[in-house]
Structure 1
Amino acid sequence: MSQLSRLIAILTLLKSKRLLTANELAKKFDVSIRTIYRDIRKLEEAGVPVTTIEGRGYSLMDGYSVAPVQFTEKQANALITAELLVNQSKDASFVENFNEALTKIKSVFRTSIQEKSELLQSKIHVFNPTYENISSNALSEIQLAITNFNYVEINYCKANDTDVSFRKIEPYAMYSTQYKWILIAWCHLRQDYRAFRIDRIQHYKILQETFEDRKFDLQAYFQSCPYNKK
């Protein structure tokens, strides 16, 4: 990769991520950290407002914008494929927000890329052999609660159980398996972390009240593997 191509790629990454370290960039482009330092200086000399956060990494000044990104055909195809997979999700809010975002992305496709992506879309189908007619519409709101540390109140119904229980939870993380989204949260009823299938949340309310971060570690949680707790 030429230096110019790498500079453009670094700028794109900085625009797409809040903070990047020199070590991350060096690994990404398979160059030395010293080379990254030189690249950052080149961007600064070109007038790009790169902010160095001591001991943490690089960021772009708030409000800085770059020219629209051009997508390659392979990159456009990857997005079209992702759209088909996302549309298999059982959460309406997630599907709606993804498709709205993708519409904005597609708006910068070159005409030739748009035509080919539409052709590819007509030639791909995703089958779901484990279809289950249960859906939800809470994923997008719960994601906001995770990142803003808001308490959530839910009415929850476990599998093969008609009883609905009320829970006040601290949402921390989520994962997807077999087209179902699982929320990991601290449950005040059980005084422990619990896994909740989002499509089994009957009703929910995002509270304005915020909780103190318990420094939940998703990897450590998976290692302890309490999958069946509800």
Structure 2
Amino acid sequence: MSQLPRLIAILTLLKSKRLLTASELAKKFEVSIRTIYRDIRKLEEAGVPVTTIEGRGYSLMEGYSVAPVQFTEKQANALITAQHLINQTKDTSFIEDFNEALIKIKSVFRTSIQKKSELLQSKIHIFNPTYENISSNALSEVQLAITNFNFIEINYCKVNETNVSFRKIEPYAMYSSQHKWILIAWCHLRQDYRAFRIDRIQHFKILQEKFEDRKFNLQAYFQSCSYNKSKT
């Protein structure tokens, strides 16, 4: 069993009000006690209030419950499929945030749907032989900067170039193309909107400084790009 299904199973057991020891969990899932320690830490990082009772085991904090949301099997399958697609983004921050959210979501699945979702998890694979294997770790932070109107400072390297340029930008929108996330931002160096591949950002800093909304419209931007291409 991979880590994510095991985390969901541990959370399900804890939700049943049982007191569980690391040894019991290790034996049940056929892993080491050290692995269980890492699993519990992962649940805590995802915001699950796991209480450690010295010498007795683990339990959930009194009063903790997950919202009673019911998912159909097709909805559960959509989430599993989305997870595979998101893993193709190669952005560590975004993948981690999604997987932690999915742990919480899957904890409310009915047992029958949970088992089927785990089965489907092992039966989906996405092939992309032309995929450029460049990873990033900025997507989640960039999304926050977009919604909170924070300036970003970046060191950026264009494709097929070695020079790195420093930019101060106002992030406005993003889109995905060929499994790559593209950020549209107002560039203070160029004094215009520019597109930045997030996996080409070598270093970034989210500033506390806020920018004034320029009322950027993504659809109008795409129409403008299409119009300029038709003229060339």
TM-score normalized by structure 1? 0.69
Q: What aligned pairs does 1:36-185 form with structure 2 within 5 A after superposition?
A: 67-185=67-185
TM-score normalized by structure 2? 0.68
Q: Residue 188 of structure 1 aligns to which amino acid in structure 2?
A: H
Unaligned runs of 5+ in 1: 1-64
Q: What percentage of aligned pairs have identical amino acids?
A: 85
- Residues 129-177 of structure 1, C-alpha deviations (whole Å, 9 max, x = no match): 2221211000000100000000000010011110000000000000001
- Residues 42-99 of structure 1, C-alpha deviations (whole Å, 9 max, x = no match): xxxxxxxxxxxxxxxxxxxxxxx99511111111111111111111112111111011
What SS does the corresponding residue of 2:151 show, helix, strand or coil?
strand
Q: Give the number of aligned pairs.
A: 164
What SS does the corresponding residue of 1:135 show, helix, strand or coil?
coil
Assess if the C-alpha contact under 8 Å between 1:88 and 1:128 holds in 2. no
Cα RMSD after superposing both structures: 1.8
Assess if the C-alpha contact under 8 Å between 2:66 and 2:108 holds in 1. no
Assess if the C-alpha contact under 8 Å between 2:151 and 2:170 holds in 1. yes
Assess if the C-alpha contact under 8 Å between 1:185 and 1:193 holds in 2. yes
Residue 214 of structure 2 aligns with which residue? Answer: 214
Structure 1 runs, 4 residues or longer, greater than 3 Å off: none
For 1:124 and 1:90, the matched residues in 2 are separated by 17
For 1:78 and 1:109, the matched residues in 2 are separated by 13
Unaligned runs of 5+ in 2: 1-64
